Structure 1
């Protein structure tokens, strides 16, 4: 089950990397100053950092099979999940087109300048859904492994 959790975690991370890259490329960091982006940079990067640290801890657990590492990885996943839910809740109105600016979606901007469209508006729904689904699967598999259910 530990390998299944690792695979789920890596798949989750790939979707997360894609969304982080999209958010940065579309000006999410620059939009912090104008308030266009609904995703606060500390939340985005905190989610990423804790998930990456947790993944490293999980890889070490898979190699070393030390129960405390499994629980540490699970403990790291809890704030990751919380931050993920915060970002999802803030993304849904943007996706539905109810951004706080009230502007209609504009064409992608060029030259590295951000428009009135929040960077996260460019997240594909299937990527968001798959990221969330695999995140839940990862959390459950890590918990079951830490509890010793299903072998290690």
Structure 2
């Protein structure tokens, strides 16, 4: 269970890197001043940094086999999931709006996020959360 959680977390992180890079490349940071983006930078980077910190704690747990580290990682992951769900809720209305006219500058950066990557990232994130919880509970051995 522990290794399955690690694999799910790493694959989820790869999708997250794609989404973060795409959001930045499409002007997400520049749009903070104009209010065009619906993703506040602290939420985006908080999600990223907490996920990375939780992954590091999980790797340390795998090396040390201390249940307190597993539960700490799970707690961090819950915060990551809440931030991710916040971004998802903000992304859905942007995605559902009509496609922008060519060259339109008022298009939020998150409009350009690929739907399959968003879906896979969310589903794998949920699977990671469940796997980490099960591992912390001791299901499937350590």
Residue 5 of structure 2 is matched in structure 1 by 5
> TM-score, length-normalised on structure 1?
0.90
Of Structure 1 and Structure 2, the greater helix share is in: 2
- Is residue 71–residue 146 contact of structure 1 (8 Å, CA) maintained in 2? yes
For normalisation by structure 2, the TM-score amounts to 0.96
CA distance in 2: counterparts of 1:8 and 1:108, whole angstroms? 38
Q: Does 1:96 align with 2:96?
A: yes
Aligned residues: 142
User: Which of 118, 122, 126 does residue 132 from structure 1 map onto?
Assistant: 122
Corresponding residue of 1:58: 58
| Corresponding residue to 1:116 among 89, 93, 106 | 106
Which residue of structure 1 aligns with residue 133 of structure 2?
Answer: 143
SS at 1:150 equivalent:
coil
Q: Which sections of structure 1, spanning at least 5 residues, go unmatched?
A: 99-103, 110-114
Deviates more, 1:83-92 or 1:60-69: 60-69
Task: Name the Cα RMSD after superposition.
Answer: 1.2
Any unmatched runs of 5+ in structure 2? none
Q: CA deviation at 1:107?
A: 3.4
Distance across 2 between alignment mates of 1:133 and 1:85: 11
